[in-house]
Each structure stands twice: as structure tokens, then as C-alpha cells.
Amino acid sequence: METATTNIKFSDFELELKKYAKENNVPIIFDEGLCFLETIIRLHKPRRILEIGTAIGYSAIRMNKCVGSEIYTIERNPDMYKLALENVAKVGKQDEIHIIFKDALEAFEDVKDLEFDLIFIDAAKAQYTKFFDLYTPLLSQRGVVVCDNMLFHGLVMDDEHYMTYSRSVRGLIRKLHNFHEALLSNENYDTTIFPIGDGMAVSIKR
Ligand code: SAH
Ligand code: MG
């Protein structure tokens, strides 16, 4: 934990997932970001959550646990999908956590008839604008969008070193920066980007 103090606890199984993620470089949500996200969930009490970017199912399992929200989560990597399925089965939550094995840009059909009270965007950063535009029409009234990794390890705000990064990293930074601008100028949402974890944007539908 960086700066937050919390009494939020992890089960032995969740600690195992965290250990696995660390050892295998799976970018699961930071503790501090998770505390923030869970606080939002406890306050907002979403009946249904859409997550983009399942990885091993860690955040899905934690989000479900807060107030029993039904989770739809999308993952395109076959190895991650397989692990997520196993992990969700291990906690016996197959009926509440639905994992969709697809690229999120191609999964709209799978969820288009559902309404979501919260959308958590935590996948390929270059595509955040596309994810946001594709899935926010499914948000309920006063729905909330949370976007993780908005600061991309501090690189987004770091003008000074911008030119020292590779072209591909610069491309990513530029895309995330454009997404920042688009989010903040979107008049349908009240948005704040918090410097929590790796940067978390919270956008609340007006
Ligand atoms: N939410 C997870 C971490 C997700 S890491 C947690 O905190 O526990 C990001 C995941 O998004 C990776 O597993 C990656 O394979 C997946 N991903 C990236 N781009 C995607 C896309 N376009 N569609 C579906 N999954 C994607
Ligand atoms: Mg993340």
C-alpha cells in the first residue's frame, strides 16, 4: 500500500492470486486502487458490473465480494481466460461472475441486452476511448465508469522525459492523454482522475 490506510483484508486464496500475479508479471490492480474501487462499490451498490480486462480474475472476484454484484468480465488472452475460469470456480462463483473469452472490441453482442451500474475499464490502454464509446451506452442512470492505469506509471504526466521513450510507448502515452482530454471534456459525465494506485478515473453519468 502506498499511502492509504485500510482494514480491508485478503483471504488466503486472494493472497495466492496476488503472489501468482507478482511472480508472473500479471498486472492486477494495486492494493490502493482496489481499496478505492471497493469503496465506490460499497457506496454505489451496483447490481451488475462490466469489467474489461479479467486477467486471472482477481479484481472480478474482489468486486463481486463487496456487495454481491453480478460481474461480466471480458478477456482475450487464452491463458488468462483459462486461469480466470479456474480461479472463479475455486471460489464457487461461476453463477455470479461470467467470463467472456473475446477481444473486448468484439464482445458487445454478448452483453448488449444488459444494463450495467458500473463499468471498470482495465485492459489495453491504447483502446480506452473505444471501450468507453462502445460500452457506456449500456450504463444505467447515474452509472459509474472507473478507468484504471490512467497515469501509466506516471508517464502520462511526465512531459520532461517524453522524448526519451520509445515510439510505441510515446504512442501509448499520447493515446491515454487524448483519452484524458476526452473524458474531462465529456459533458455527460462528472469526471475526476485520482492519483491513486496507477491513476484511477471516476466518471459519473449526469
Ligand atoms: N482487472 C485485472 C487486471 C487486468 S490486466 C485485475 O486487476 O485483477 C489487463 C488484461 O486485459 C490482460 O489480461 C489482457 O489480456 C486483457 N486485455 C487487454 N486488451 C484487451 C482487449 N482488447 N479485450 C479483452 N481483453 C484485453
Ligand atoms: Mg490495471
Closest residue by CA, ligand 1 atom 25: 75
Q: Confirm or reject: Cβ of 103 under 6 Å from ligand 1.
A: yes
Looking at 58-166, list the stretches that DSSP marks H as alpha helix, in order from N- to C-terminal side: 58-67, 78-90, 108-111, 128-135
User: If residue 18 lies in a helix (H) or strand (E), which one and from where to where?
Assistant: helix 12-23
Cα–Cα distance list, 145 to 64, 93, 170 (Å): 16, 23, 25
* Ligand 1 close to Cβ of residue 198 (< 6 A): no
Ligand 1 pocket, residue 186 CB under 6 Å: no
The yes-or-no verdict on residue 154 having pLDDT over 80 is no
pLDDT of residue 161: 82
Take atom 3 of ligand 1 and give the residue whose Cα is closest: 28
| pLDDT for 197 beyond 90 | no
| Residue 33 alpha carbon to ligand 2 centre in Å | 9
Q: Ligand 1 atom closest to Cα of 51?
A: 1
Rounded to an integer, the average pLDDT of 57-86 is 98
Is the shortest distance between the CB of 77 and ligand 1 below 6 Å? yes
State the pLDDT at residue 172: 87
Residue 2 has a pLDDT of 60
- How would residue 159 be classed by pLDDT, with cut points 50, 70 and 90? confident
Q: For residue 153, is pLDDT > 90?
A: no
Whole-model pTM above 0.85?
Answer: yes
State the pLDDT at residue 110: 98
In this prediction, residue 152 carries a pLDDT of 80
Mean pLDDT value of segment 91-115: 98
Residue nearest to atom 19 of ligand 1 (CA): 124
Mean pLDDT of the chain: 95
CB of 29 sitting under 6 A from ligand 1 = yes
pLDDT at 155: 75
- Determine which of 132-136, 141-145, 176-180 has the lowest per-residue pLDDT on average: 176-180
Residue 48 CA to ligand 2 centre (angstroms): 20
- Report residue 165's pLDDT band, with 50, 70 and 90 as the boundaries: confident
96 Cβ below 6 A of ligand 1? no
Spatial contact of 34 and 62, defined as CB atoms under 8 Å apart: yes
